[in-house]
Amino acid sequence: MGQDDPRRLIPRTDRILAHPEVRRARERLGDDVIRSIVQDLQGQARRGELAPGDVEPGVLAAISARKATSLTPVLNATGVVVHTNLGRAPLSRSAREALLAAAGYVDVELDLPSGTRSRRGAGARGALLRACPAAEDALIVNNGAAALLLATTALTGTGDVIISRGELVEIGAGFRLPELIESTGARLREVGTTNRTHLQDYESAIGERTGCLLKVHPSNFLVSGFTSSVGVDQLHSLAVTHGVPLVVDLGSGLLAPDPALPDEPDIAGALTAGADVVIASGDKLLGGPQAGLLLGRAEVIARLARHPLARALRADKLTLAALEATVSGELPPVAAALHVDPIRLRRRTEALADAVGGTVVEHDGRVGGGGAPGVPLPGWAVRLPEDAAPRLRTGDPAVLPRVHGGACLVDLRCIPEDDDETLTAAVRAALAPAGERLESGSS
């Protein structure tokens, strides 16, 4: 490299790493991340893609914008309460505080007064049992699929799982419950037809190989017309007669009946009707973290907890802390969005429309996450030009609207009121002329 080669002007790594702003960045970013940023910009300068004098400013800009996680917070303006692509349920303030408390050392498996080992997740288990007295015991694993996997494996082994053909569901991303169950070595015994299943169909299928009866709530779709199905109470009588356990997978995680969702089954109702164990997800209508909940008879739950698979599927301390706080704390955001005051929602929507020059239109929200399929949540949205949607999604903060009917619809149902001003500013920025957006982004 000659004396006149501009690459000699590229700042050395140790000099950049000694910069005060770079040293402060080490409080939130690892050394490997910072060094990779430095080396990347130095490499661009060596290839002539960047002036040597721009390396250090480029490093400072990059580390300032870089976060420890690539996940981006999003304002959910779709009107879909449990939005799978946005991580399903947003956590309550209590749950977020619990996560911070559990981030360090905590007594997750320790009785502090005696100094001896205790039952893992006793607090979360106790909160669930207080909230759902119909359950004798509870077990928490890492998600709903894990709960179903554990139940069918521990109760059935390589035996038969009897299930109605109308309940062989496929949920998001091509995930099929039948394939999950069969992966355990169990054999599915399908009974009835897609639209009609009778009690006699189950009874005829019961035999020496029967491990359990399984009823799955088909939460992602509706079958209407010439249909029939067998209720939990009827299946309970059959299960007792033949001495086989009854497993009910509800999916949505509703602990008790909700007037806003009159046709959505709840855990307490299924247990009262005779289910031996009920399976649900913690991050749907319960409004908590991702978790698989198993509630039911003490004998059955103990049998599941003793199975070796329970160890592999158990929930971590962060999940347990957030779940307990969700059940014991204030109203979770999911419940708040489902029961939003329509008058207040209309006023907030009108205020946003007035501030940004949009139009208020009627708009039905949805529960989402497989809960209450086909049930509308009447409300309103601000109608904007369709081309505002990509600018909202890539703005700061990111806002996810609904694109429908050639328009961009901004629904405030799932937006916390504290974020109304932030949302208004984001919409204004998205609607601003291109020159103003560029100027704002460079300031």
Burial class (CB in 10 A: 0-12, 13-18, 19+), 62: middle
Among residues 280, 298, 329, the one where a domain terminates is 329
pLDDT score at 4:
66
pLDDT score at 442:
45
Residue 1 within a domain: no
The reply to whether 230 and 253 lie within a common domain is yes
Q: What is the CA radius of gyration of the chain?
A: 27
Residue 223 within a domain: yes
pLDDT score at 371:
82
Residue 158 within a domain: yes
Residue 405 within a domain: yes
Q: In 71-191, at which residue ranges do the beta strands (DSSP E only) sit?
A: 74-77, 110-111, 116-117, 137-141, 160-164, 187-191
Phi, psi of 405 (to 5 degrees): 60, 35
Chain centroid offset of residue 432 CA: 33
**Residue with tokens 């009946």, as numbered in its chain:** 257
The reply to whether 305 and 350 lie within a common domain is no
| CATH of residue 429 | 3.90.1150.180
Given the DSSP bridges, would you call strands 407-410 and 398-404 parallel, antiparallel or unpaired?
antiparallel
The reply to whether 254 and 152 lie within a common domain is yes
Distance CA 63, CA 47 (A): 22
- DSSP per position, 28-72: TS-HHHHHHHHHHHHHHHHTTSS-GGGHHHHHHHHHHH--S----
Query: Is 9 strand, coil or helix?
Result: helix
Q: What is the pTM of this model?
A: 0.88
pLDDT score at 116:
95
Residue 436 within a domain: yes
pLDDT score at 388:
97
pLDDT score at 65:
85
pLDDT score at 443:
42
The reply to whether 154 and 264 lie within a common domain is yes
The reply to whether 288 and 157 lie within a common domain is yes
CB 147 within 8 A of CB 292: yes
CA dihedral sign, ordered 178, 223, 370, 287: negative
CA dihedral sign, ordered 260, 262, 265, 269: positive
CB 273 within 8 A of CB 231: yes
Among residues 329, 349, 382, the one where a domain terminates is 329
Give me the number of domains the chain comprises.
3
Given the DSSP bridges, would you call strands 160-164 and 187-191 parallel, antiparallel or unpaired?
parallel
The reply to whether 30 and 134 lie within a common domain is no
Distance CA 43, CA 54 (A): 12
pLDDT score at 438:
46
Give residues with Cβ within 8 angstroms of 271, minimum separation 6: 132, 134, 135, 278, 295, 296
The reply to whether 322 and 343 lie within a common domain is no
Residue 347 within a domain: yes
| Buried-state track 41-61, b at ≥16 Cβ within 10 A, e below 16 | bbebbeeeebeeeebbebbbe
The reply to whether 164 and 313 lie within a common domain is yes
Phi, psi of 189 (to 5 degrees): -110, 100
The reply to whether 176 and 230 lie within a common domain is yes
Token pair of 358 as six digits = 């949009």
Amino acid identity of 33? Answer: V
The reply to whether 118 and 244 lie within a common domain is yes
The reply to whether 210 and 355 lie within a common domain is no
Among residues 297, 329, 361, the one where a domain terminates is 329
The reply to whether 319 and 356 lie within a common domain is no
| Angle (nearest 5°) at CA 383 between 382 and 387 | 125
CA dihedral sign, ordered 21, 23, 27, 29: positive
Residue 146 within a domain: yes
Q: What is the DSSP letter of 300?
A: H
Which residues on adjacent β-strands are paired with residue 402? 409
| CATH of residue 223 | 3.40.640.10
Q: Cα–Cα distances in Å, from 21 out to 17, 59, 69, 130? A: 9, 10, 20, 51
Q: Which domain holds residue 373?
A: 74-84+335-442
Please list the pLDDT of the chain residue by residue as tens digits (443 residues): 566 677 788 999 999 999 999 999 988 899 999 999 999 999 999 999 999 999 999 999 999 888 888 899 999 999 999 999 999 999 999 999 999 999 999 999 999 999 999 999 999 999 999 999 999 999 999 999 999 999 999 999 999 999 999 988 877 666 788 888 888 889 999 999 989 999 999 999 999 999 999 999 887 677 778 888 999 999 999 999 999 999 999 988 899 999 989 889 999 999 999 999 999 999 999 999 999 999 999 999 999 999 999 999 999 999 999 999 999 999 999 999 999 999 999 999 999 999 999 999 999 999 998 888 788 999 999 999 999 999 999 999 999 999 999 999 999 999 999 999 999 999 999 999 865 554 544 44
pLDDT score at 3:
62
Residue 235 within a domain: yes
